[in-house]
Amino acid sequence: MPFDWPVRVYIEDTDAGGIVYYANYFRFLERARTEWLRTLNCSQEALRQQDVLFVVREVQAKYRVPARLDDELRVSVAVKSSRKVSLELEQSVWRQEECLLTATIQIACMNHAGRPQAIPVELLHAMTA
């Protein structure tokens, strides 16, 4: 079952026409992934202290319908596949029952030196449960 996180569109998210600037969708996706980790009892800071970092390797996004100023959105996160040091996530942005954006996100797990790092086993089990 996907994780959903609510997002409100503020003026800072939009262009002069009141439409969400395309790059700001990536901020919405990132926030949802961070909050998803929190629901798994894992914070980015706790991971960082364990020398575990998640970095985006690749994003494929399809913009369907624009979000606008003051829209109430929800951003979903679901694990499509997992490996020892990486995840493939499916994310989407919704306004009520209308899908505005779909994205496939490739996430790599690394240490501070930039070397591949295994995702902690307990966290990987929680992510894929």
Catalytic position from the list 4, 15, 70, 71: 15
pLDDT at 114: 95
In angstroms, the CA 12 to CA 110 distance is 32
| Residues forming a β-bridge with 29 | none
Residue 76 · residue 15 · CB < 8 Å = no
Query: Once rounded to an integer, what is the mean pLDDT over residues 93-119?
Result: 97
pLDDT at site 92 = 98
Short-list 82, 55, 72, 58, CA closest to 7: 72
Q: Tell me whether residue 4 is one of the annotated catalytic residues.
A: no
Q: Residue 110 and residue 127: Cα distance in Å, rounded?
A: 17
List domains and CATH numbers for the chain. 3-128 (3.10.129.10)
Strand runs labelled E in the chain: 3-8, 53-63, 72-82, 86-95, 98-110
pLDDT tens digits along 1-55 = 789 999 999 999 999 999 999 999 999 999 999 999 999 999 889 999 999 999 9
